[in-house]
Amino acid sequence: MYNRESISGGNHPALNERTQHLLKALVERYIRDGQPVGSRTLARDAGLDLSPATVRNVMADLEELGYLHSPHTSAGRVPTARGYRLFIDALLHLRPLDGREVEMLRQRIDRPAQNGAELARTVSDLLSGFTRLAGVVMLPRRNVVTLRHVEFLSLSDNRVLAILVLNTQEVQNRIIQTRRPYSTAELQQAAHYLNEQFTGKDLQQVRESLLRELRETRDSLDRLMETVVEMAEQTFETEPAGEDYVVAGQTHLMQCADLSDLDKLRQLFEAFNHKRDLLHLFDQCLHAEGVQIFIGEESGFGALEGCSVVTAPYTVEGQVLGVLGVIGPTRMAYDRVIPVVDVTARLLAAALNEQGS
């Protein structure tokens, strides 16, 4: 379940109970109505014995702290991404799914004879249908490819033959083009280093480790490591995986007033089609536990600036296979969306575990 740890890592100054109560009431009102909230409305909603003038002062303080802002067309306030973050991390009360809803999800996900892509499509449709937002499901990752042994043989014209032994006995040969000719001794040294450091590890992990080392020590790389990195960049380059995720319900986003700007929608739809940036975001969630929430700029992805992404990983026998989630405007019903994403990830994991057994 969502663990209330901030994605952004930003610290929130201590707010007294009254201020938190008013912020919570304002965010809930704005999520419900989509209109800037004025002091009189907030005083009434909060149920506290406070004058509108006192409430205005609290709202001004919250605006100064970056939790609210004032649209130029109104005297009311709306939450900022920072305001939503505090609301989600500290003030939100989740609305669990009832037994009927859970059973409906389970029956749809447990339908027999669904392969990986069909199941992903079913689940993305369910996420979209339950939330009226866009549902996204990353397809299960392919089986881990483990390095057993690698050798390099020099060819003509700055080419090198890479011989890979993978998993238990699979052998692959790849011809790679290098920037300069390499001697037999250099290639043997590079192969020896890779075999010593990475035998038994996943090819993707090998490549990420070497590229990270390259970024961190680019200025001080010795000749051996330059050779190793050039060989590894091409030798361990992962092959295209085909369709990486499925999206359902994009048209729901066209009906969200917060995303009605055509340029925003175009950028968002292009992001769904191009995939790379969304996959990078989802990859971050593969290594996290429970529900993760990215609000606006927290995603680090321009097309999602006015959106929130709620994700959860799904697993088989403790191994994370992929991530599913919901994408919508920052003004979404988090109390509803978070439980839907969490329960759906658990049900998908249970279905995949059952298939596996």
Each residue's pLDDT tens digit, 106-133: 999 988 656 677 888 899 999 999 999 9
**Domains of the chain by start residue, with CATH:** 17-91 (1.10.10.10), 99-142+242-356 (3.30.450.40), 147-235 (3.30.390)
pLDDT digits (tens, 9 = 90+) for 92-103: 999 999 999 999
DSSP track, 143-193: PPPBEEEEEEEE-STTEEEEEEEETTTEEEEEEEE-SS---HHHHHHHHHH
pLDDT digits (tens, 9 = 90+) for 131-150: 999 999 988 765 567 888 88
Residue type (1 letter), 26: L
> Residue 19's pLDDT band (boundaries 50, 70, 90)?
very high
Q: Which of 4-18, 188-202, 268-282 has the lowest mean pLDDT?
A: 4-18
Counting other chains too, the contacts that 176-182 makes at CB distance below 8 Å and 24 or more residues apart are 176/231, 176/234, 176/235, 177/234, 178/230, 178/231, 179/230, 181/154, 182/152, 182/154, 182/227
**pLDDT above 60: residue 5:** no
Buried b (16+ CB within 10 A) or exposed e, 91-120: ebeeeebeeeebeebeebbeeeebeeeebb
pLDDT given for residue 348 in this prediction = 92
> Residue 328's pLDDT band (boundaries 50, 70, 90)?
very high
pLDDT given for residue 9 in this prediction = 41
Structure tokens at 166: 């993978």
Please, which residues bridge with residue 313 across strands? 323
The separation between the first and the last C-alpha atoms of the chain, rounded to the nearest angstrom, is 25
Residue 44 neighbours by CB distance under 10 Å: 14
Nearest in space to 257 (alpha carbons), one of 331, 337, 327, 326: 331
> Residue 167's pLDDT band (boundaries 50, 70, 90)?
confident
Mention every residue, 6+ apart, whose C-beta is less than 8 A from residue 258. Answer: 34, 306, 329, 330, 331
How many CA atoms, within 13 angstroms, populate the side-chain half-sphere of residue 74?
12
Most confident of 140-144, 259-263, 304-308: 304-308
pLDDT given for residue 7 in this prediction = 41
Mean pLDDT, rounded, for 158-174: 82
